[in-house]
Every structure is written in structure tokens, then in C-alpha cells.
Structure 1
């Protein structure tokens, strides 16, 4: 519904009609439209987090650049595959998310990046893992959300993927230069 009309224009009556439930059932589970929206956002973001955790486990023994490529894809694939819905979701996230909830979720993604970077071969001893993880997540999240929110035409997913890889690998090649000197990109 958010793709078709603004959040303000969507009523609880329209939501329950689409869901095929009564208004009483809605209020049994949610106290407001904002509460439902917050749950929907969290569920979508949790799906990305689950995909990222699976990715980290599946690629943990690969060289650092391949782990990073896989994690960039895991984090960005869903939003880039459905840009209209995710654009609406990211705009709504900014409207209704409380700061503490936003910080907690952001921290969870940084912890996943930390695990991915330091959890396999190629990460140098003493390198600033948490700072690098924060930067990598910020680049992916920021570039994807801004590409979806600010453009009037859905972005080319392949072009955004190249931009993400260039930004993240460029930064990490400075932080972990040996891992990148040993790796040749195709």
C-alpha cells in the first residue's frame, strides 16, 4: 500500500480490509498503525540480518575480499531487487523508528560486519575491526537507502552493486592492504 500512497493516506480500515481481518483483531495485536509499521520494518530488516548471518557462516573460510563481496550482496540484494517497496520502507523507518531502536539495530549490523571481517583469513592483527565494520556497514546501508530514497527512477542494481564494492573494498584495502594485495579482482 505504501508504494501506491503515502503512509498518512493509509488507514487502519484499509489495512484490515487488505489483510482480511476485522478492526477488533487489529487492535488485539497492535495499538496503532505506527506500531504495526514498526513491526513490519523490523521483520524486513531481520530477514536481511538472517541472510547476512547465513552468508557469514557460508563464507567464513574464504579470503577477505570474497567474504566482503558476499556480505555486500547479502545486505543489499533484497532492497535492490524491490526498490519501490524498500524505498517506502526506508522513508517510513525514518518517520517512526525511535532512536534507541535504530541504534540497537545499527549496532547489530556492525557486529555482523565485525564477525565477517575478523572471522576468517586475511584480517590483519591489530587492525581496527569495529571501526572498519562500522564504515563498511555505513557505506552499504547509506548508499542503498539513499539510492532508493533520493532517485525518482529505480536505480540499476548492478551499478549500485559496483559502487558498493568499489567503496567498501577501496576503504578496506587501506585497512587490510595485504589481504587485497594477495587478491586479484576479476
Structure 2
């Protein structure tokens, strides 16, 4: 409970003060614990920052996973729409918090920590697509899920960082959904695979010539 209190207090101070200005003393004051207690859990402020980001991302992923379990068996169109709406609800429901965490994420999180969160969200997309009515081979599911996450994360994070005051962000869900659905369908399209193989064959012939 004390670690959670420190993590939550860190986020509160981060929003009010910014990472560059905040101090450990401010965090423990908000948490209602002493400096010594802080060092029982964390070696420094940077470690607490990474821990708080990981906690928030993991909590968000759990909410998204639960949402998609409740929407299994939908068409791929409705599945993508529901997942994007859940992302918007999570992020834009607490825009100041998520914007602050996104700005800080690359500064304090390790490559391993970032990949862990990345893989978690890819798994959410993978589960959602697998349990939709869309027929997809397992060997293509991960690559499709990675692309879906890359597109949705780019849109989601950029809207939070740069377009939070732009009322059009709510209307961009349909556009992003269409893009993700199009890529999912193209990736598993036999016609596309034949086209790619044709291009590859032509390239090989040119090299041999």
C-alpha cells in the first residue's frame, strides 16, 4: 500500500510541478510518509517515476483487456472500434496525467520496461482480433497486432501530446479504425500475398539479370 501511495503521489506532484522541479520531499509529503520510508522502496526519484509509469500502463492494459473480453465475438470492425473507444476513455478521461506520463516515459523507463508494456498492449490487440469473427492465421496474428498497436499508440499519444484542445480528436476514431481494419484485411489477403510474391520474384529476376 505504501508503494502505491508513493506512486500515486508522484503522479500528483508530477502534474502540479513537472519532473524537473519536483523533489522527493514533495512526494513523501503528499504520500504522508517520511524520507526513510521512501528509500525503503525506491533508490531515487527516477526509479519511482519508472515504477509509477509502469503501474499506470499496466492498470490501463487491465481495463482494456476486461473491456475486450466483454466484447468477444464481434465483427472486426466493431472490435477495433470498441478497443479504440476504450483507449480514448482511458487516456482522455485523465489527459493531464497521461500527457505528463507520456512526456516522461522515454526519459526514465528502460528499454526492457518499455518493451514489456509494448508487448502487453500487442497482446491485447492479438486477443481482440483472435476473438472477433475475423478469420486470421495464427502465424500472421502477432505481426498484424503489432501494426494495430503501432498505429493506435501513435494516434493516441500524439493526440494527447499535441492536439488535446482540438475537438476533432473524437472524430478521428473512425479514420484510425478504417486504417487499422484495412491493414488487417490486406495483411491476410491472398491477393496481396500473391502480389507481394510477384514483386519479390521480379526483384530476384532483376538481380540475377
TM-score by length of 1: 0.84
Q: Deviations over 1:131-159 (max 9, x none)?
A: 221121112211111122234x5343xx3
In the alignment, is residue 172 of structure 1 matched against residue 143 of structure 2? no
The aligned length equals 174
Partner of 1:183: none
* CA deviation after TM superposition for structure 1 residue 29, in Å: 1.0
Change (3 A) 1:65 1:12: same
In the alignment, is residue 118 of structure 1 matched against residue 127 of structure 2? no
1: CA distance, partners of 2:151 / 2:170: 12
Partner of 1:54: 66
In the alignment, is residue 107 of structure 1 matched against residue 116 of structure 2? no
Tell me, which stretches of 5 or more residues in structure 2 are unaligned?
A: 1-12, 187-209
1: CA distance, partners of 2:107 / 2:150: 19
SS of the residue 2:17 aligns to? coil
Contact 2:50 2:108 in 1 (8 A): yes
Contact 2:125 2:148 in 1 (8 A): yes
List aligned pairs for 1:1-186, cutoff 5 A: 1-125=13-137, 128-151=140-163, 154-156=165-167, 159-176=168-185
Q: Deviations over 1:76-100 (max 9, x none)?
A: 3221112111111101111101111
TM-score by length of 2: 0.75
1: CA distance, partners of 2:15 / 2:184: 40
Higher helix share: 2
Q: Deviations over 1:28-61 (max 9, x none)?
A: 1111111111111111101111111112211111
Query: What is the CA RMSD across the aligned residues, in angstroms?
Result: 2.0
2: CA distance, partners of 1:26 / 1:174: 47
1: CA distance, partners of 2:33 / 2:157: 32
Of structures 1 and 2, the larger Rg is shown by 2
1: CA distance, partners of 2:171 / 2:144: 19
